[in-house]
Amino acid sequence: MFLDYFALGVLLVVLLVCFYGVIIIHDIPYDIAVKRNHPHQDAIHIAGWISLFTLHVIWPFLWIWATLYREDRGWGMANQIRQDHGRLEEMEKRLLELESRLTSLPAETQVEPTSGKGE
């Protein structure tokens, strides 16, 4: 009789651990989104609960969605765009400097532009 109650207790503990384990696992994308200050935190959280009813099909996509965004670089391209823009401004400044040097040269040292056909 004692073993029956013990087995029932173990079964209940295992079921509770599995139940809460599934809930904790499904909150991982939401926790990642909160940590990264994701702009779609609420949507990821709700979709995590919906994934419980869709047999977990969308859960891997929620993980990807949550990890794509980082507060320091956005969706991954903002930093690259800023770097390219900075390089473009630097090149424009250098071009203006070279043009000003070229126009300040005496007339006899200036070179006429050619057509590039090797005439």
Q: Which residues contact 117 (CB under 8 A, 6 or more apart)?
A: none
Quote the distance between the C-alpha of residue 19 and its chain's center.
31
* pLDDT tens digits, one per residue of 65-100: 999 998 877 887 655 556 666 788 888 888 888 888
Cα(65)–Cα(36) distance, rounded to whole angstroms?
12
For 57-70, how does the pLDDT look when each residue is reduced to its tens digit (9 = 90+)? Answer: 999 999 999 999 98
Return the structure tokens found at 113. 């532009």
